[in-house]
Amino acid sequence: MKNQYRLGYQAHLRLHFNLKMKLTTWLLLSISLIQVQANVKNNSFKYSDEVERIDVFQQFMVEGTILDSNGNPLPGANVLEKGTTNGTQSALMGNLLLM
């Protein structure tokens, strides 16, 4: 008899706990929805019609060979783009690639 009473009481506690959890969840969701509806009604959402300006530059790739006055390849020559820090060094056969 005690076991039946104890099992019945435990089932009652589980049901009571589940009911409390469901009510709490429902209440929290309801409050969240009310808050969202209030924001929509008050137009408290922020938006912007401004357009962000993005500067676009065209890139060129320069390929070539550095030769000395006799027409021989010049390895290790430094080449810089004027007005920038963009540069490269020629390869063993004088070839270079500048981006």
Examine the domain organization and report whether 5 and 42 are in the same domain.
yes
Considering the domain boundaries, does residue 56 fall inside one? no
Considering the domain boundaries, does residue 88 fall inside one? yes
Considering the domain boundaries, does residue 15 fall inside one? yes
Considering the domain boundaries, does residue 21 fall inside one? yes
pLDDT digits (tens, 9 = 90+) for 43-98: 656 666 777 777 777 777 889 898 888 989 989 988 888 888 888 898 888 888 88
- Confidence (pLDDT) at 39: 56
- Confidence (pLDDT) at 33: 67
Q: Which residue has the higher pLDDT, 14 or 56?
A: 56
pTM above 0.85, yes or no: no
pLDDT digits (tens, 9 = 90+) for 89-98: 988 888 888 8
Domain span at residue 10 reads: 1-47
Q: Label each residue of the chain as H, E or C.
A: CHHHHHHHHHHHHHHHHHHHHHHHHHHHHHHHHHHHHHHHHHCCCCCCCCCCCCCCCCCCCEEEECECCCCCECCCCEEECCCCCCEEECCCCCEEEEC
Examine the domain organization and report whether 43 and 73 are in the same domain.
no
pLDDT digits (tens, 9 = 90+) for 18-46: 777 777 887 777 777 666 665 555 565 66
Examine the domain organization and report whether 2 and 40 are in the same domain.
yes
